Structure 1
């Protein structure tokens, strides 16, 4: 067996199950899970219609690179959404379909990291708290994870200047998540420019997880994307050492479709395509055709944002005045990253036992680094359920704390 498998940590939901073991919630209250970020809104009907009509295409082998029409739809959406210049993003070289971004976020480390670095292992940098796939990808690529904190004093944004020069010198890959999971903080253009300048000096690939970019509250201020900042450079290789990840799971309420995209550095994607061809993760043709419909339609995405906006308004009205929990509207995304008094694990277990509501303790999403665990004292609440359930959960939290 690969010895690096023994380096993997238990997944957050394994820890959550252990925390809840033996607990008996009230039987007269239905369970309301706020722990898992699985969209619960209805998938768009136009996508389901396309999927049904395309089912006979399941008889054909799909290409790993995807159908040209799919890459064109993806490149078109990225160009419109991030205001890229005409022709800046080539569907032939700058875009690839992936079977959901989870597998691609893992696979990119296996393709990028060079283990043969001498006495010290290569470094993969990642935010802390973080999506645990980043850490697992680094460990199984033979790299050393470096956890850069995203703390409340800095608006839950990363401070790339605080990363030691010795770490930058060993770094090969940096994961960044914006809007952030779990905080919802959005990295702005100046901070992205500084990151790109530093990464290029050290020849570090920047992998931007932007899966929550289409859930935001002001229709006139969508979150900044790394591609639009990288594209400012112009020239023949504006996306050098840059790769971004987008998904239909959150944007279009299609988590079970397992469809997303990677885009950016053409030279990197050429080699990544070779890796993925051997990995065997081509999207079935019905999935590709349904994805074309989804990427080409914005009406369902705007409606989806409206549902989340309504839920955040209602939940914040209930919880903001409550002592014992500190909540704020995030910049984007569908999580509330709520501060609580005391050990957040005790809060989560008590909430389950007394109110049959499940939230995720923050330290299950983070690691202690330099004596600080940035997840301690926080719980993550995913407002993915229907409005009535989110309101009911907020009222139960309020009842527990009064």
Structure 2
């Protein structure tokens, strides 16, 4: 592969960095103040986000994630990777450009697998940033890392489907703008294992939908996005809300989770870069035992390791993105699995050292490091835990040598 960024990528990256410098970094404090100003009712739209969205639209920095679409920038995965990395330097920045999860994955599902009616009703307002969405897959009662365990039922009844089940870690379901859920459930328990599941569109305000509780992450509520436990009690939706057809849930999941996983990794590299920058600046600004902290040799090793680890992860991410563009997600599944394991673990090491460099301040809310660590720790579980991806990598490796024999 050619590691040189394309001219298109360079242009978008230059404009995106200018936008971040002009509007995002200067408003990090504003974002925190506005959220804090809501008091206990934190599930509200944050004004600065909506203001910056309008600016991003004006600057042509909108829906950058969506390839081969007149609705987006039409960038390849390889072109989008550096842009997502840049957004990842600030946890909420991707929303400004309408490039945040789970909306990106849901929009891609609708673009690839939705009917025109489904696209008109749900994808168009999502692409315009007028509404938000959630993806309901994980369940509290089963080990959802094996999606064949999912128990939520999707039962045909005339011109409707009835959905029953309980989901949790439904990210984004707490947002007042969240209007649609993509729900994965079991439509035929007697079908072959990977044909039992279907995905269906469930309006967030449908009768029988109840948000039962909010699930904080290491004490952070992630408002107004949030992670919710959702009960689906005899929820009736039109039969036309099924995606692609009964029994196609796993097929859709593979199409959705591949790009979603690599997008997480791209943003994670940006978070690690920001942590390294904060680490070095902190070490240069503080003195201990008669000299700047950065002059103490232990930090040579930590800074060097951080730079090496970030560069390795970036290269593997670019390789995975390039393969997705050239040979497709299926043939890139090994690389996607590898970076999904490597990037969060790398970032956690870098952020942990950055926290150490900041001393007590590192675990406080005065710096973004503790919140960044909490969020990225969840990525070792989200979109499949490390162990599932390691299983994929190991099986592909064994298959390679089996074929050699």
Which TM bucket (shorter chain)? under 0.3
Task: Determine which structure has the larger helix proportion and give its number.
Answer: 2
TM-score, reference length from structure 2: 0.24
